[in-house]
């Protein structure tokens, strides 16, 4: 894997290792002389909050009986209230568009349905398949769409896909496909997501790659080829790639609720189970993980498999953080990771108008 060293984060120096030309791995490590991890002051404060159970990783909200839908709804409302749905001053405003009954939230350049040259990052929020909304992912999508002085920002659309346990697999992918076909057909796209959302991004790509089972006509087959060709890259932030092996005991019931009556070995549910043939057809990938999250070894293995079949993958690794640290906008490490994701997306999308939108609702 050939290494592009790249500039490290503000408090890190890169340690790099290499094997083949199609895989780029950057490891951002900052260690003291005694080998201890050195993080930014902001990361140390956030980590202390996580250890106290007072942060967005779950706080003191116990997982309910997922068979009790009323309890699930109450738990979800409380968790979303704890996370918050806010934008920081100066971040890209958002525009809400309802597509075939599915809420989407746009950040960045104003959406023009008639302009097929307008590209987009299609974003899927995390939350263990059972939590999250486009608004809870606004700390990420607003920064993905943030205008830069010399480079126009992409549009970023976050899809309010249906959640388990009420709506298990494949409801989320069905919703994603509906939005892409109804609103984004013919546009250059990057699919992206964090944690469970990254899983859904890979599931959507497979749906587009293999064709919609609900539309087997010749015209639909042509649309499938067009949609697949327009997905130019996939970005996974702390991606949850394997539901066959839950990373934690706490996450196991959430994953099981999403799988429902499906098979956890289905590659649309567990991208880590993708065949070599599917892996070879993937567009360029950017995967970001941290050495401290339990999903990290799976991400490393997945990146190595993609590289082994000739795919193009960049795996960027931060040392000693936590799952989906990207949400914490005050962290230099989060800003660094998002900036790198933006740079990757822009390499695969054409420039778009830097015009920004005011919040609006379009039904």
| pLDDT tens column, 340-362 | 999 999 999 865 443 333 333 33
The Cα–Cα gap between 95 and 106 comes to 5
CA count, 13 A, side-chain hemisphere, 74: 9
Q: Indicate whether 4 belongs to any domain.
A: no
Question: Within its chain, how far is the Cα of 225 from the centroid?
Answer: 23
Q: Indicate whether 8 belongs to any domain.
A: no
For 45-54, 155-164, 179-188, which range has the lowest pLDDT when averaged over its residues? 45-54
Angle at 165 between CA 68 and CA 136, to 5 degrees: 110
What are residue 200's phi and psi, to 5 degrees? -65, -35
The Cα–Cα gap between 13 and 25 comes to 14
Query: Quick one: pLDDT at residue 357?
Result: 32
Alpha helices in the chain (DSSP H): 41-51, 69-83, 138-144, 171-183, 196-210, 218-229, 252-259, 276-281, 296-308, 332-348
| The pLDDT of residue 225 is above 80 | no
Structure tokens belonging to residue 118? 């307008």
Percent of the chain residues past pLDDT 90, beyond the cut: 55
CATH code: domain of residue 179: 3.40.50.1820
- Report DSSP letters for 129-186, one per residue: TTS--TTTTHHHHHHHT---SSSPPPEEEEE----TTTS-TTHHHHHHHHHHHHH-TT
| The pLDDT of residue 11 is above 60 | no
| The pLDDT of residue 181 is above 70 | yes
| pLDDT tens column, 256-290 | 999 999 999 999 999 999 999 999 999 999 999 99
Pick from 226, 187, 186, 180: which is nearest to 203 by CA?
Answer: 180
Query: Quick one: pLDDT at residue 315?
Result: 97
Q: Indicate whether 3 belongs to any domain.
A: no
Query: Quick one: pLDDT at residue 161?
Result: 98
> Does residue 170 have a cis peptide bond before it, meaning omega lies within 30 degrees of 0?
yes
Q: Indicate whether 5 belongs to any domain.
A: no
Q: Which residues have a Cβ under 8 Å from the Cβ of 299 and sit 6 or more positions away?
A: 236, 239, 241, 287, 289, 315
How large is the greatest C-alpha to C-alpha distance in the chain, in angstroms? 64
What is the count of structural domains for the chain? 1
Q: Name the band, by pLDDT with cuts 50, 70 and 90, for residue 34.
A: confident
Cα→Cα distances 164→138, 263, 293, 295, 340, Å: 21, 15, 23, 21, 31
188 in Cβ contact with 122 (< 8 Å): no
- Is the model's pTM score more than 0.75? yes
Find where tokens 């993609």 sit: 306
Query: Quick one: pLDDT at residue 8?
Result: 36
The Cα–Cα gap between 99 and 246 comes to 33
237 vs 56, residue with greater confidence: 237
Query: Quick one: pLDDT at residue 150?
Result: 52
Q: Indicate whether 216 belongs to any domain.
A: yes
- Residue 84 is given by DSSP the state -
| The pLDDT of residue 6 is above 60 | no
Percent of the chain residues past pLDDT 70, beyond the cut: 79
Q: Name the band, by pLDDT with cuts 50, 70 and 90, for residue 5.
A: very low
Give the mean pLDDT of the chain: 82
Q: Indicate whether 7 belongs to any domain.
A: no
Query: Quick one: pLDDT at residue 21?
Result: 44
Q: Name the band, by pLDDT with cuts 50, 70 and 90, for residue 53.
A: low
Find where tokens 């909200």 sit: 61
- Residue 252 is given by DSSP the state H
Angle at 69 between CA 84 and CA 293, to 5 degrees: 50
| The pLDDT of residue 68 is above 90 | yes
Q: Indicate whether 112 belongs to any domain.
A: yes
Q: Which domain holds residue 212?
A: 13-362
29 vs 336, residue with greater confidence: 336
Residues facing 317 on adjacent strands: 27, 289
255 in Cβ contact with 276 (< 8 Å): no
Q: Indicate whether 288 belongs to any domain.
A: yes
């Amino acid at each position: 894997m050939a290494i592009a060293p790249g500039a490290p984060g503000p408090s890190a120096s890169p340690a790099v290792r290499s094997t083949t030309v199609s895989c780029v791995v950057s490891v951002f490590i900052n260690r003291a002389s005694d080998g201890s991890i050195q993080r930014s002051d902001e990361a140390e404060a956030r980590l202390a909050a996580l250890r106290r159970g007072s942060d967005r990783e779950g706080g003191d909200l116990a997982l309910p009986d997922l068979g009790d839908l009323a309890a699930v709804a109450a738990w979800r409302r409380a968790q979303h209230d704890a996370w918050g749905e806010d934008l920081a001053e100066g971040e890209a405003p958002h525009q809400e568009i309802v597509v075939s009954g599915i809420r989407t939230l746009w950040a960045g350049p104003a959406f023009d349905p008639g302009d097929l040259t307008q590209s987009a990052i299609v974003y899927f929020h995390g939350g263990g398949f059972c939590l999250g909304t486009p608004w809870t992912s606004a700390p990420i999508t607003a920064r993905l769409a943030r205008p830069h002085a010399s480079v126009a920002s992409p549009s970023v659309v976050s899809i309010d896909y249906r959640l388990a346990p009420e709506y298990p697999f494949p409801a989320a992918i069905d919703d994603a496909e509906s939005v892409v076909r109804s609103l984004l057909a013919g546009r250059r796209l990057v699919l992206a997501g964090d944690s469970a959302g990254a899983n859904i991004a890979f599931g959507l790509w497979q749906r587009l790659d293999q064709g919609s089972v609900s539309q087997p006509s010749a015209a639909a087959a042509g649309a499938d080829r067009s949609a697949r060709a327009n997905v130019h890259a996939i970005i996974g932030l702390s991606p949850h790639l394997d539901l066959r092996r839950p990373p934690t005991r706490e996450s196991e019931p959430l994953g099981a609720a999403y799988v429902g009556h499906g098979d956890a070995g289905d590659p649309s549910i567990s991208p880590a189970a993708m065949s070599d043939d599917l892996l070879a057809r993937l567009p360029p990938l950017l995967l970001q993980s941290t050495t401290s999250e339990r999903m990290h070894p799976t991400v490393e293995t997945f990146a190595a498999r993609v590289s082994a079949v000739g795919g193009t993958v960049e795996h960027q690794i931060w040392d000693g953080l936590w799952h989906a640290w990207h949400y914490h906008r005050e962290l230099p490490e989060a800003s660094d990771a998002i900036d790198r994701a933006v740079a990757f997306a822009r390499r695969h999308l054409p420039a778009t108008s830097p015009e920004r939108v005011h919040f609006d609702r379009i039904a």
